[in-house]
Chains A and B, each alone.
Chain A
Amino acid sequence: MPAPTLPSENQTATAVAPSGIAIEFDNVSIAFDEKVVLQNISFQLAHGETKAVFGVAGSGKSTMLKLAMGLLRPDSGRIHVLGEEITHMTEQELFELRRRVGIVFQESALFDSLKVYENVAFRLMEEGIAAEEIERRVREVLRFVELERTYDMFPSELSGGMRRRVAIARAIITEPEVILYDSPTGGLDPVTSNTIVELIMKQRDVYKTSALMVTHRLQDAFTMASHQFDKATNKVVALPKGQLCEVPMSFLILRDAKVIFNGDAHQLATSRDEYIREYIS
């Protein structure tokens, strides 16, 4: 598979060794009115690992991401992000932590009154970085998602797939240690979906970014478990048979507000749980 061109190598500076915990949910529960959305959810996301989260619509996948970002607060339980417990943090404290975490929303959530470069540069502008430096980094990251030509366009002028890629560019421009993807390929055509999956794999394999990826598309997650991004050839290559668990990729399945599976590709493929077998078939 051909892959987008790499940006300059300085981005690897933030690569984190694949050890330690990036995100930890400890008995987390949340309900909206009377409806329990997540109940006693516990899992860990290791540094450098990508975890694909599955579940039927309304199973609380997006809520889980918002909890991890501190956009929602759990009714009970504790959440640790990059070594800090966020459950009792004030909004001001969370703003600081969020600078180290990126998120790609389901519908991209680009600021529709701002141009593409303003959207991508939003965080850099807030930090008061010099205009020349901002432009250089925005162009670099837009080149990474192959959308440099959209620099001066408004989000309404872009297709759904392009918007999603701009959202990815906005999330990675500050080189976060963790990225949360909410259905990054949802509603997109297969070609665009592949491009986005490649971008996510590149973040995982080249920059060692931890990621929690909510998705409905099993094939995307299996592609990510069976392929890796080769920095030398700048392409995605298939792993040899028998090495499927060599990439830092795991799976988590939610059902009825609970985690019913949390493991790697091999464990998922050999699961005897009837629901899981039906889900992955």
Chain B
Amino acid sequence: MALELELISPIEVAKDFALAVQEYTLLSAQSLANFFRRPLYMADMLQQADLIGVGSLPIVVLTGLSVGALLALNAASTLQRFGSVTLIGQLVSLGMVTELGPLITGLMVAGRNASGMASELGSMIVTEQIDAMRALGTDPTKKLITPRIGATAFMLFFLTIIADLLGLIGGYGVAHLLFGVDTNQYWTSVWQILVFRDVFTGLIKPVLFGFIIATVGCYYGMSTRGGTQGVGRSTTQAVVASSVLILIVDFFVTKLIFAIFGYR
């Protein structure tokens, strides 16, 4: 049996991409507008907050601790050469609060929840449950997507704070136990290096990342075609797209904040 490879025109690919961007934008805008329309489905939002927030807690605790510890370990080897190992606290603090805390938490939650949303909504699409919901007079974007966006953005904010704190504790463990940095010295340097801009950067990002995770996961779920294989495809695409988008947005948000508040 000869294997025939179908060649896809680059114009078609560009058109499909433009269409996907348009549909994603419309879905996101509609879901955001739903926050100002009744009903709000608070019970669904709380249920999602529990699934996303409490459910992601173990993975965020573990990654936060590990990243903080690794950051301290790597920084120490360089700082030791200059005799400045006491600066570990500053490095861990800045790294965790402004960048790694939000980013790692965002990527972890994207892996766990964007895939979950895409597979759940994708399964509902292929088994006609979304059509059934529309037929029963309920708007699926209002009932399914808006609560997920609200819950993810809200919970990622707090998960990031937890990850930051655990990262600092992980860094302290390494600094104190392996490099003999004094407890008081570590926590003082952690606290003193942070300015408003750092905390603002670290707390605005998780809200944006939460929005990206939920909208991308829901978009791929709602655009699922082709049965169970399609559900698998949507799940993978949701994780890849949300992770890449988080990295891209992270860069531009950091750049924008530097432009607004200026460099250190």
A and B are partners in one complex rather than unrelated chains: yes
User: Which residues on A are within 8 Å of B, measured CB to CB?
Assistant: 66, 69, 71, 91-92, 94-96, 98-99, 101, 103, 105-107, 109-112, 122-123, 126, 170
B255 CB–A CB distance under 8 Å: no
Q: Chain A nearest CB: distance from B195 CB in Å?
A: 46
Chain A residue at minimal CB-CB distance from B41: A126
Q: B residues within 8 A CB of A109?
A: 127-129, 131-132
Indicate if the CB atoms of B131 and A123 lie closer than 8 Å: no
Indicate if the CB atoms of B137 and A107 lie closer than 8 Å: no
Q: Chain A nearest CB: distance from B47 CB in Å?
A: 10
Q: A residues within 8 A CB of B128?
A: 105-107, 109
In whole angstroms, how far apart are the Cα atoms of A204 and B131 in the complex? Answer: 25
In whole angstroms, how far apart are the Cα atoms of A95 and B142 in the complex? Answer: 12
Indicate if the CB atoms of B137 and A95 lie closer than 8 Å: yes
Q: Chain B nearest CB: distance from A150 CB in Å?
A: 18
Contacts beyond the supplied A106-B128, A109-B131: 12 A-B pairs with Cβ under 8 Å: A71-B134, A95-B139, A98-B137, A101-B135, A105-B132, A109-B127, A109-B132, A111-B124, A122-B138, A123-B138, A126-B137, A170-B136
Indicate if the CB atoms of A112 and B129 lie closer than 8 Å: yes
Given contacts A95-B137, A123-B137, contact A111 B132 (CB under 8 A): yes
Q: Which residue of A92, A96, A98, A107 is within 8 Å of B136 (Cβ)?
A: A98
Q: B residues within 8 A CB of A110?
A: 129, 132
Q: A residues within 8 A CB of B124?
A: 111
Indicate if the CB atoms of A112 and B138 lie closer than 8 Å: no
24 A-B pairs with CB atoms under 8 Å apart are A66-B131, A69-B135, A92-B139, A95-B134, A98-B134, A99-B137, A103-B135, A105-B128, A107-B127, A109-B128, A109-B131, A109-B132, A111-B124, A111-B129, A111-B133, A112-B127, A112-B129, A122-B136, A123-B136, A123-B137, A126-B39, A126-B137, A126-B138, A170-B136
Q: Chain B nearest CB: distance from A155 CB in Å?
A: 10
Indicate if the CB atoms of B131 and A105 lie closer than 8 Å: yes
Within 8 A of A (CB), among B135-157: 135-139
Chain B residue at minimal CB-CB distance from A170: B136
Q: Which residue of A71, A112, A126 is within 8 Å of B135 (Cβ)?
A: A71
Q: B residues within 8 A CB of A105?
A: 128, 131-132
Q: Chain A nearest CB: distance from B41 CB in Å?
A: 10
Chain B residue at minimal CB-CB distance from A114: B129
For B240-256 the 0/1 string (1 means CB < 8 A from A) is: 00000000000000000
Q: A residues within 8 A CB of B129?
A: 109-112
Chain B residue at minimal CB-CB distance from A92: B139
Chain B residue at minimal CB-CB distance from A126: B138
For the complex of A and B, list the 9 residue pairs with the smallest distance between their C-beta atoms, beginning with the closest.
A109-B132, A109-B128, A99-B137, A98-B137, A103-B135, A95-B137, A123-B136, A105-B128, A71-B131
Q: B residues within 8 A CB of A112?
A: 127, 129
Indicate if the CB atoms of A95 and B132 lie closer than 8 Å: no
Q: A residues within 8 A CB of B137?
A: 95-96, 98-99, 123, 126
Chain B residue at minimal CB-CB distance from A128: B39
In whole angstroms, how far apart are the Cα atoms of A103 and B133 in the complex? Answer: 11
Chain A residue at minimal CB-CB distance from B30: A91
Chain A residue at minimal CB-CB distance from B139: A95
Chain A residue at minimal CB-CB distance from B126: A107
Best-buried of B39, B133, B134, B136 by chain A (most CB within 10 Å): B136
Indicate if the CB atoms of A95 and B138 lie closer than 8 Å: yes
In whole angstroms, how far apart are the Cα atoms of A95 and B139 in the complex? Answer: 8
Q: Chain B nearest CB: distance from A68 CB in Å?
A: 10
Indicate if the CB atoms of A91 and B127 lie closer than 8 Å: no
Q: B residues within 8 A CB of A92?
A: 139
Chain B residue at minimal CB-CB distance from A62: B128
Q: A residues within 8 A CB of B135?
A: 69, 71, 98, 101, 103
In whole angstroms, how far apart are the Cα atoms of A71 and B135 in the complex? Answer: 7
Q: Chain A nearest CB: distance from B206 CB in Å?
A: 28
Q: Chain A nearest CB: distance from B117 CB in Å?
A: 13
Q: Chain A nearest CB: distance from B34 CB in Å?
A: 11
In whole angstroms, how far apart are the Cα atoms of A106 and B128 in the complex? Answer: 9
Q: Chain B nearest CB: distance from A72 CB in Å?
A: 9
Q: Chain A nearest CB: distance from B165 CB in Å?
A: 34
Q: Chain B nearest CB: distance from A35 CB in Å?
A: 15
In whole angstroms, how far apart are the Cα atoms of A10 and B70 in the complex? Answer: 70
Q: Chain A nearest CB: distance from B227 CB in Å?
A: 12
Chain A residue at minimal CB-CB distance from B138: A126
In whole angstroms, how far apart are the Cα atoms of A123 and B131 in the complex? Answer: 14
Best-buried of A71, A105, A106, A109 by chain B (most CB within 10 Å): A109
Q: Chain A nearest CB: distance from B256 CB in Å?
A: 35
In whole angstroms, how far apart are the Cα atoms of A208 and B32 in the complex? Answer: 42
Q: B residues within 8 A CB of A123?
A: 136-138
Q: Chain B nearest CB: distance from A221 CB in Å?
A: 23
Q: A residues within 8 A CB of B138?
A: 95, 122-123, 126
In whole angstroms, how far apart are the Cα atoms of A66 and B136 in the complex? Answer: 13
Chain B residue at minimal CB-CB distance from A95: B137
